[in-house]
Amino acid sequence: MEAKELRDMSTDDLTQKRTELREEIGHLKLKRATSRLENPMKLGQTKRDLARVETILREKAFQSGKGAA
């Protein structure tokens, strides 16, 4: 997922996306542990997507805090 797409999303959507990505990472780790993970690169991609979402959520929180002060 592109960062540009994520920046266009609302904070609620990003929070929901973060939850979905965390669940997906848990499932992928379980599949990796049981040797059923078809695409090992998927785990890394999902972790990077989660990092992007968390970064953008942090940016939005900083902007809203800075704008209010």
Domain boundaries, the chain: 3-68
What are the b/e assignments for 1-27, b being 16+ CB within 10 Å? eeeeebeebeeeebeebbeebeebbee
pLDDT above 70 (res 68): no
pLDDT digits (tens, 9 = 90+) for 6-65: 999 999 999 999 999 999 999 999 999 999 989 999 999 999 999 999 999 999 999 988
pLDDT above 80 (res 69): no
Residue-level pLDDT at 1: 76
Q: What is the pTM of this model?
A: 0.87
37 and 43 Cβ atoms separated by less than 8 Å: yes
The CATH code for residues 3-68 is 1.10.287
Residue-level pLDDT at 66: 73
Alpha-carbon distances of 36 from 1, 30, 41, 49, rounded to whole Å: 24, 9, 13, 22
Which of 57, 51, 60, 62 shows the shortest CA–CA distance to 1?
51
